[in-house]
Structure 1
Amino acid sequence: MRTRQLSVVLVSVLLVASGVGVGAVGASLSGGDPVDTAGADAAASVAGDAPAQAGSNIGGSPDLDVFAPNPNLVPGRTNEVTLQIANDGNFRFGNAANSELVTTARDVRVDVEASGPLSVESGETSIGSVTTNAPGELPVSLNVPQDVEPGTYTLDLDLTYGYISAGESRTVTVSRDVDVRVRDDARFRVVGVETDAQVADSGMLTVELENTGSEPATEADVQLTSAAGVLTFGGTGSSTARIAELAPGETATVTYDVEVAPNSAVRSYVVTGRVAFKDPDGIRRTDETISLGVRPQGEQQFSIGNVSADLRVGEDGDVYGTVTNDGPATARNVVVQYAEESPSLIPVEESVAVGTLEPGASADFRLPLAVSGEAEAVARTADVAVQYRNAEMERRSYQDLELLFDIAPERDRFDVAVADRTIQAGGERTISVEVTNNLDEEVSDVEARLFADDPVATGDTDTGYAQSIAPGESVTMTFDLSATGSATPGSTYPISFDFRYDDADGNSQLSDTVRVPIDVTESEGGGLPLPALAVVLLVVVAGAAVFYRRRE
């Protein structure tokens, strides 16, 4: 380089002595076109070649080095490390005001390789020009295994760039290295996940964490965040639980309240986490490598089978069935609730309890209902619900159930059979009545009453009583009945009975009226009818009284 400078000086001196411009010679020596100094064209040519002339009179080169401002790596994840490419520059000669012409590294390309267990995801990267005043930045993606040993690891870099010196363009590749560090901090990994949360319900999420690092962690705040909107932490997207202290190799359990939206799919939902903790020096650090899957249980379901009924129009009865817990969880304090709203079908008891049901277990139930007299004797459906308590003893309800049963036509609750349904005109008699319980339950405190209309009348005994009558059982009651003389022989007249009784539940009931025909026959023995006989007797008594008074 010195030989070239001396040559340029000698040539310049000779040219000055001969009257030739130094600038033209310098341009020619540095690779430019020869320049004619005569005329305007020559002046313009000299002005256009000024940068080249300046470059030819300046010497130097870039001087690149690599630094890692934050060399710390976290195991078990891909770390983004930003490296700085600094340029100290090496200016050798020329006008220092134009030093950037020769010290700038142009079109810098960097290829990074990692040592040991680390690997580089990013390939060769271009970062543009690097000057002495503005360092370049190089983002590097490093894969760090979870089980990597703490310590220092080296990244090897090849930097390829171009620069200009003494009017010549040059391209070089230099090798540099920089250290990165895997700290001895506490590290965390998930070793167990359990939840009893079900679709359309809430539950507990239990997560077991292990400190896989080589240092203890204190005041570790474990924050979990759900990536799915159907899985929430008490209605919010995230929740935090604290571990007071966790030594290396130890595990700890944290719990969270979670909810799962109705109609959600039964699958694993992604939950991410971060642990903010203090190291032994009291410095707050963060591990953001936590990730887990949460799979809720299916929605609690029930089914009802073996449905039957003994319902009749105008009577109380029961619907029978079997409720089954189809799972997946145990249902506590299960109650079958009648949920239909109908004016003709009224629940005597709105719900019945069947106890606790394990998954797959069944229990029989009976729902007492009252059927009004206006009800139709048809097949009916009725909605029912199953109420229960979950593992947290919170009340839940399952609605999607229906009963299908028949309502039988109305019937007389009691059959009445009169052994002899005849009575003489103007006569009276005691009739024997056989009363049969047509109901499906035993009745008690049964009081029967006889009613009759003219020309048939009741006598002194118009009521009968039975302490109890079992289903299908018959009892005999007696009543007094008479027929006036105006009753027409050969005609039939109705008498009627009604019954007041207590049902099996102790409720007082009144039956519908039961009508029985009574046939009137001729008076036997040719005697006077009772009314006529009474008149005769009155006349005789009156005559006797007159006769007696006259004798006195």
Structure 2
Amino acid sequence: MKQSFIYSSLSGNSGKMKTNNNGKPELSVSGKLLLILASLLVMSAFITTPVLAGTKYMTGSPELSVSIDGNNEFTPGTTVPLTILVQNSGLNQIKFVQSGIVDSDDVPNTAKMVTVTLLPGESPILVKSDPQMAGDITGSEVKPVCFEIRIPEEANAGTYALPVVLDYTYLGNSEQEGTDSIVYRYVSKKLEMELPFIIKSAINLNVTDVQAENINSGGSGFITLTLKNTGTDSGKNAIANISRIGNSPLIPVSNSVFIGEFAPGSEKTLKYKVSVAKDAEPQDYPLGISVTYENADGETITTTPQKVGVFVGADVEFTITSEKPQMNPGKKNFIEVTYRNDGSVPVYGAEVRISAVDPFTSADDLSYLGDIQPGESAVARFGLSVDETADTKIYGLDSEIKYRDALNDSHVSDTIKVPIDVVPKEGLAALLSSPVFVGLLIVIILGGGYYLYEHRRKNSKQ
């Protein structure tokens, strides 16, 4: 039988070996611990300590492209936001991983500090926005950039190419120096592309003539507009609409006129009824006009509202041109008052009413004036009575003129003061109105009567 020996240094007994019940050698507790520790040391010798690895991209660059977000068809006469999508489809094709490499902050296929510039090129559009910053665009990323553009009314229909310029930089290569630093080398690039841009055929509305009829403050009248289609499209089922602009005193009464077919180069003359606010001053005021129609594609389109100026005349005003009538206390007289139309439009069926107040009374306070053209005059006749006790001075009685305008609408003028001069009586009338004179006259008459009576009585006795 082969026998195993264990040194005393492991067994813990000098020169002696401990055996178990079967007579075989047995390790002590301390010996077992030392054996485990030795085994771990042997195993660690076969384990390799891992080393950190870095990444380096050998090839790759940005691949940028542009497109319009949504529909690329636009209507003349509009100002719209144009959103351009910038897409980076660049790939990093070779990736190298190795220990001792320091990771780079940038990767080659990232477009950095991208600036997008939109140009009109040979198209008629107006670009109202400056170049836009898009920032960094990583691989497989899409970034929107928005521009504001204006398509003029006179723009011809067709397909145009809008130049788009992309300015950016990207990581060309990087060189590691030592174990803790990297030198980056960036490349600047300018990329020019074109965007397909379609201007749809449309009506181009042009107002060639404006005529105002009886348009004055506080009244109603007609506005006649001549419209011309200077565009390239023919509008079907066209409707011309006028509209109030802001706080303009011009308020449409009938605001829509059906045109029907509105062919290129054709003119349409349309008539609208409008009312004017009472506080309007004599000057030009804006009025909006637009046309809603169906284009060749069956779409319903409304043109951009055009603004036209309409002159508003002064409110109808009447002035008294006759001299002040005179009246005596206690008398009834017919007075005549001349009214002149100082407005800019004629009035029809005018009649004037005077308001008699104390000390005046009237049984004939209404007078018919008839039709009065601007600058013409008409005479009114009133019957007035003055109280006997009225003070002698100038009074002012209110009068108002009711009339109809050219559209047969009824109006009432502002209050017009009628001056009346109440003067003392003159001559015999003045004497008869004096109590002293009347008393003296009665005394004289009675005295004369008594004298005649006595004289006849004496003659009859003789």
Identity, % of aligned positions: 19
Structure 2: which amino acid aligns with 1:151? G
Counterparts of 1:169-188 in structure 2 under 5 Å?
169-188=186-205
Give the structure-1-normalised TM-score: 0.61
Aligned to 1:115: 121
Please give the alpha-carbon distance, in whole angstroms, between the structure 2 residues aligned to 1:286 and 1:415: 81
Q: 1:225 to 1:133 in 2, by over 3 A?
A: farther
Output one character per residue of 1:350-389: Cα deviation in whole Å (capped at 9) or x when no partner.
2212221111112233222122333233222122222221
Matched, 1:346 2:366: no
Q: CA deviation at 1:261?
A: 2.5
Please give the alpha-carbon distance, in whole angstroms, between the structure 2 residues aligned to 1:327 and 1:57: 90
Q: Residue 297 of structure 1 contacts residue 328 of structure 1 at CA under 8 Å; is this kept in 2?
A: yes
Q: CA deviation at 1:303?
A: 0.9
Q: CA deviation at 1:101?
A: 5.2
Structure 2: which amino acid aligns with 1:184? S
Q: Residue 307 of structure 1 contacts residue 405 of structure 1 at CA under 8 Å; is this kept in 2?
A: no
Q: Residue 130 of structure 1 contacts residue 136 of structure 1 at CA under 8 Å; is this kept in 2?
A: no
Please give the alpha-carbon distance, in whole angstroms, between the structure 2 residues aligned to 1:398 and 1:415: 39
Matched, 1:155 2:156: no
Q: CA deviation at 1:130?
A: 4.3
Q: Residue 392 of structure 2 contacts residue 421 of structure 2 at CA under 8 Å; is this kept in 1?
A: yes
Output one character per residue of 1:313-370: Cα deviation in whole Å (capped at 9) or x when no partner.
22221222321111211111222321x3413212332221222111111223322212
Please give the alpha-carbon distance, in whole angstroms, between the structure 1 residues aligned to 2:431 and 2:278: 59
Matched, 1:388 2:403: yes
Aligned to 1:228: 246
Matched, 1:70 2:67: no
Please give the alpha-carbon distance, in whole angstroms, between the structure 2 residues aligned to 1:274 and 1:95: 63
SS of residue in 2 equivalent to 1:70? coil
Counterparts of 1:236-385 in structure 2 under 5 Å?
239-338=255-354, 340-385=355-400
Aligned to 1:402: 417
Matched, 1:84 2:84: yes
Output one character per residue of 1:77-134: Cα deviation in whole Å (capped at 9) or x when no partner.
46335142231512132579x9x95544333212222233444333322233445343
Q: Residue 68 of structure 2 contacts residue 82 of structure 2 at CA under 8 Å; is this kept in 1?
A: no
Output one character per residue of 1:245-295: Cα deviation in whole Å (capped at 9) or x when no partner.
322222223444433323333333333344321123422122115222233
Please give the alpha-carbon distance, in whole angstroms, between the structure 1 residues aligned to 2:194 and 2:314: 55
Q: 1:259 to 1:228 in 2, by over 3 A?
A: farther
SS of residue in 1 equivalent to 2:201? coil
Please give the alpha-carbon distance, in whole angstroms, between the structure 2 residues aligned to 1:240 and 1:101: 63
Counterparts of 1:395-434 in structure 2 under 5 Å?
395-409=410-424
Please give the alpha-carbon distance, in whole angstroms, between the structure 2 residues aligned to 1:517 and 1:232: 81
Q: Residue 326 of structure 2 contacts residue 420 of structure 2 at CA under 8 Å; is this kept in 1?
A: no
How many pairs does the alignment contain?
A: 383
Please give the alpha-carbon distance, in whole angstroms, between the structure 2 residues aligned to 1:356 and 1:113: 65
Structure 1: which amino acid aligns with 2:219? D
Q: Residue 65 of structure 1 contacts residue 85 of structure 1 at CA under 8 Å; is this kept in 2?
A: yes
Please give the alpha-carbon distance, in whole angstroms, between the structure 1 residues aligned to 2:84 and 2:211: 45
Q: Residue 345 of structure 1 contacts residue 370 of structure 1 at CA under 8 Å; is this kept in 2?
A: yes
Q: Residue 120 of structure 1 contacts residue 143 of structure 1 at CA under 8 Å; is this kept in 2?
A: no
Higher strand share: 1
Please give the alpha-carbon distance, in whole angstroms, between the structure 1 residues aligned to 2:73 and 2:121: 15
Q: Residue 65 of structure 1 contacts residue 176 of structure 1 at CA under 8 Å; is this kept in 2?
A: yes
Matched, 1:193 2:210: yes
Aligned to 1:444: none
Structure 1: which amino acid aligns with 2:224? T
Structure 2 gaps of 5+ residues are 1-48, 97-103, 175-183, 433-441
Quote the RMSD (CA, aligned, Å).
3.7
Residue of 146, 158, 170 corresponding to 1:138: 146
Structure 2: which amino acid aligns with 1:183? K
Please give the alpha-carbon distance, in whole angstroms, between the structure 1 residues aligned to 2:448 and 2:389: 27
Q: CA deviation at 1:141?
A: 2.1
Q: 1:527 to 1:405 in 2, by over 3 A?
A: closer
Higher relative contact order (CA 8 A, sep 6+): 2
Structure 2: which amino acid aligns with 1:407? V
Q: 1:314 to 1:103 in 2, by over 3 A?
A: farther
Aligned to 2:62: 61
Structure 2: which amino acid aligns with 1:141? I
Q: Residue 272 of structure 1 contacts residue 292 of structure 1 at CA under 8 Å; is this kept in 2?
A: yes
Give the structure-2-normalised TM-score: 0.71
Output one character per residue of 1:390-441: Cα deviation in whole Å (capped at 9) or x when no partner.
1111111222422222123358998999xxxxxxxxxxxxxxxxxxxxxxxx
Q: CA deviation at 1:207?
A: 2.7
Q: 1:20 to 1:208 in 2, by over 3 A?
A: same
Q: 1:234 to 1:225 in 2, by over 3 A?
A: closer
Structure 1: which amino acid aligns with 2:215? A
SS of residue in 2 equivalent to 1:300? coil
Q: Residue 89 of structure 2 contacts residue 141 of structure 2 at CA under 8 Å; is this kept in 1?
A: no
Aligned to 2:231: 213
Structure 1: which amino acid aligns with 2:310? V
Please give the alpha-carbon distance, in whole angstroms, between the structure 2 residues aligned to 1:517 and 1:229: 84
Q: 1:318 to 1:309 in 2, by over 3 A?
A: farther
Please give the alpha-carbon distance, in whole angstroms, between the structure 1 residues aligned to 2:297 and 2:210: 31
SS of residue in 2 equivalent to 1:93? coil
Structure 1: which amino acid aligns with 2:407? E
Q: 1:407 to 1:87 in 2, by over 3 A?
A: same
